[in-house]
Amino acid sequence: MDSRYKQLAELLTGFSTSLKKGENVLIDAIDVPDAIVVALVRAARARGAVPQVNIQRASITRVLLQEGTEEQFRLTAAVELPRMKKMHAYIALRGAGNIFENSDVPADRMKTAAHILRPVVDYRVKNTKWVVLRWPSPSMAQQARMSTEAFEDFYFRVCTFDYSRFTAGMAALKEVFEKTDEVRITGNGTDLRFSVKNIPAIPCGGEKNIPDGEVYTAPVRNSVEGVVQYNAPTLYQGTNFTDVKLVFKKGKIIEATANNTKRLNEILDSDPGARYIGEFALGFNPHILEPMQDILFDEKIAGSFHLTPGQCYDEAFNGNKSSIHWDLVCIQRPEYGGGEIYFDGKLVRKDGVFIPKPLQQLNRENLINSRSKKG
């Protein structure tokens, strides 16, 4: 067995989910090698946990969605929710031989399935120790414009990063966030203001997602005003989007354009909450620099932010409810056009670099240098 599989399995069952003796863990494996599932089962058992495994295939899921009925989706929810309620932890590995596998699934089926299965996701998010990660594939390597071997090396370097190195910087950023009322973001095509007053900020350092490296909060629901222009391509519900631009008034998206404006607005019309923002986050993983249309990577890009239409998290609750949660990313490093973020009028990040001294430890150079000094 590849030693990197064992290292990753120990990270996921240890640092990420802290499995304890007698805890039930569901390992949800989608298009991944059997060997990593075996490594996870063994790592869970070594901690005294009780592993359960769910094997899925994206091509089969596509067929189930394509002509799925409400009756079918409700049966799935009726089976999956009781199982999830027996779990203390959830580990998901999601491979993708073809990132556009669901591109021909009718939008109404995707919407119906998401709505009916939402209680399963909500229970998992709110009541289990969970972590979700992608699995490297030739498809992902193509997205990253890398050879398969080079991408696998990159993947394991990112995913087995010592996430404890984020701890102090994330704590400082959380403190700054929670003292802030107004956030202003400026940059190419962007001039946006909103309040985050009295909404908690949540550090993410490898305990929910792998890879990781962000601190998130949410805007006060009706406070978002202005315009944001995203510069990272995004894949959502099987459709590729570029040049997404959103205009806000009193928190609501009143205008939305992209390379596929019609489909963009269909998604934003999924329900009333889809046109309001459920999350705002700053990303700072030092090893992730370029977008690859995989949101678990892209939302952690060093020098980026994401502003998310749809469902908010309970941990940073702003009251917005929706069947969607669409992390749209803007990179503000100079090679992507730069940009500024202000907290209560004070410049906090410029061109992707944190300015206040307590936050500088989250800057890429400092994280890389710290890592090299410690071996």
Averages of pLDDT over runs of 10 residues in the chain (375 residues) are 89 92 97 96 98 95 93 96 97 86 88 93 94 87 88 89 90 97 98 98 88 96 98 92 98 98 96 97 95 91 98 95 95 98 98 97 87 41
Q: Could you tell me where the beta strands, DSSP code E, fall in the chain?
A: 24-30, 50-56, 89-94, 129-134, 182-187, 190-195, 202-204, 209-210, 214-217, 225-229, 234-236, 239-241, 245-249, 252-257, 277-283, 304-309, 328-331, 340-343, 346-350, 353-354
Residue 3 burial (CB count, 10 A): 9
Residue with tokens 């949410």: 218
Name the pTM for this structure: 0.79
Q: How far apart are CA 196 and CA 194, in angstroms?
A: 7
As a 3-state breakdown, the chain gives helix, strand, coil percent values, each rounded to 5, of: 40, 25, 35
DSSP conformation class of 162: -
Q: Which fold has domain 3-159?
A: Thermophilic metalloprotease-like (3.40.1830)
Q: How far apart are CA 155 and CA 51, in angstroms?
A: 25
Residue 229 burial (CB count, 10 A): 18
Q: What is the pLDDT of residue 373?
A: 41
Asked whether 139 and 97 are in contact (CB, 8 A), the reply is yes
Best CA proximity match to 90, nearest among 117, 135, 143, 52: 52
State the Rg of the chain over Cα.
20
Q: What is the pLDDT of residue 161?
A: 84
pLDDT tens track for 51-66: 999 999 999 999 999 9
Asked whether 32 and 135 are in contact (CB, 8 A), the reply is yes
* CB burial readout 231-268, b (16+ within 10 A) else e: bbbbbbbbbbbeebbbebeebebeebebebeebbbbbb
The alpha carbon torsion through 239, 240, 246, 252 (nearest 10 deg) reads: 20
Asked whether 290 and 146 are in contact (CB, 8 A), the reply is no
Q: How far apart are CA 264 and CA 247, in angstroms?
A: 13
Please list, in sequence order, all residues whose beta carbon lies within 8 angstroms of the beta carbon of residue 75, skipping any fewer than 6 positions away: none
CATH 3.40.1830.10 domain residues, the chain: 3-159
Q: How far apart are CA 341 and CA 156, in angstroms?
A: 31
Residue 307: phi, psi to the nearest 5?
-125, 115
Q: How far apart are CA 36 and CA 27, in angstroms?
A: 10
